Chains A and B, each alone.
Chain A
């Protein structure tokens, strides 16, 4: 609770939280908020590439679809992709980090070297390679992103577990005969939760950005899905005339990622008392 209060006192972080909450609201009610919800799949060639107007706030795209509606509808898929990827990465990375942090010797060493291999490959390139090999599409992109993001959770949880392993309460639990799994999942993990939460928040921003790049390069979402990265790619052929086509989906990416990054920053400061001094 002190952490939350601290977060609200930091105006920049509070702004980030506001952006994220706004995006969640938009995503939840997307079909009702979008003025033309059918434009997710329908095209209206007669009104293609219209500039922004009162009817079409962000203009229309090459198939005459309302860009404002498609940006709203795209929020849902962007968040859905990011949440699934981060959760999947967590489910791989957290147990590995816990085990490697708890045990000594070759188990720990082996797991962390294994993690290092995945960290040694630049994520975007590995995601591209995987995306191509498993037949391109949004699901493959998600698998690839999860497979490249879990090492960050493993690293974070490893460091936290190592720190907590020597704590008095862990000794006490071991002393009364608690099973290691019980200690790890019921006692160590909750104490590592703030660090995991910070990592997850930053991971949300990162995933949205990388998923957009994959969509832009043609190995992510496929048409006619309302996807922001894909929209920017389609817009390229209609520049410089239809500037609105490329501009608004990119702005949507910017604000959503900004929200998660600001929130993650604020959470990190709130979760780590040592850093609190430096900001205020």
Chain B
């Protein structure tokens, strides 16, 4: 098992290395002359030379790549061209908002997706099965930003039952920042009213973000259960007189769930990038709105840092998923 974990981590390293190289290439090659980008349109040649020297842009390209690599490894993602603040700080401040939203969405998707998939498989080709099938294909076809706006239109503007934007009502203020997760920080501060408010703000963006995940999880659970139902041990358990419910939950689901676990892990990465458009709609102060702001202000440093951070999260999660899968099903580690 330890050998498997070590091998899995070793396999992820080239991809991470490649990611750093890729962001470096993007930052140096594509904007043409980064010094000109930094200096603006009205810079004199002397100013350009000064900027080149200050940022090391006059050095050989391999040396620049090496410096870039060392900076990234030490957590230095450079300063935002727009605000001048260290990008790493900006990202650290905004990451919890995105993670909280993603976790909530993943929770909704898992808690609804697994039972839906199970029920659909048990009613194979029945009306519930068809409904789940339509839902699981439809859920992946909806443009998330559009769904978000439609939900806002109905629940916030028309009926006024859920907040329109943001993480918290302004008059309530903010709890002391401990984790950056409002659901946790409000409880630590002992403020039930703020907790409820934060929860209310999470409903619409959480549901919107959860829908494609819900579709995927329901679908994989359904096919996993259908496959497991064909197995001999199910026949045995049925012959031994286990009821439908116990059969499904104890024998079938546990065996069918490995594929779903992989999918949940992969979804985490997909949801983080899916959050970009949803954050834009709900003014959610996370990585997504940061990326969009970076686009509007042509802040390529910030944008590449977001790419890098999300890529790293993605890679780490993939490794964790593989390890979790090997723990559930030891055959994976032995292949």
Contacts and interface: CB of A to CB of B under 8 A. Distances in A.
Interface of A: 12, 113-114, 116-126, 128-134, 136, 205, 209, 212-213, 216-219, 229, 232, 235-236, 239-240, 243, 246-247, 249-250, 253-254, 257-258, 261-262, 265, 278
B18 interface: yes
A20 B142 CA distance: 16
Given A133-B303, A213-B143, 15 more contacts: A12-B134, A120-B318, A122-B311, A124-B274, A125-B307, A125-B311, A129-B26, A129-B304, A132-B303, A136-B295, A205-B140, A217-B295, A240-B153, A278-B223, A278-B227
A117 B22 contact: yes
Interface of B: 14-16, 18-19, 21-22, 26, 30-31, 133-134, 137-138, 140-147, 149-150, 152-153, 157-158, 223, 226-227, 269-270, 272-274, 276-277, 280-281, 291-292, 294-296, 298, 300, 303-304, 306-307, 310-311, 314-315, 318
Contacts of B269: 122
B157 to A, nearest CB: 4
Nearest to B30: A133
Contact of B142 (A118, A239, A249, A254): A254
Given A128-B303, A258-B137, A134 B30 contact: yes
Given A130-B26, A258-B141, A278-B227, A124 B16 contact: no
A262 B219 CA distance: 13
If over half of A's interface residues share one DSSP class (helix, strand or loop), that class is named, otherwise mixed; here it is: helix
A114 B14 CA distance: 9
A154 B145 CA distance: 30
A132 B295 contact: yes
A244 to B, nearest CB: 11
A246 B146 contact: yes
Nearest to B222: A278
A258 B138 contact: yes
A124 to B, nearest CB: 4
Give the 4 A-B CB pairs with smallest separation, nearest first.
A117-B18, A250-B146, A122-B273, A240-B157
B140 to A, nearest CB: 6
28 contacts: A113-B18, A116-B18, A117-B21, A120-B16, A120-B19, A120-B315, A120-B318, A122-B272, A122-B311, A122-B314, A125-B291, A125-B307, A125-B310, A125-B311, A128-B291, A128-B303, A131-B295, A132-B294, A205-B140, A212-B145, A217-B277, A240-B153, A240-B157, A250-B143, A254-B141, A254-B146, A257-B143, A258-B141
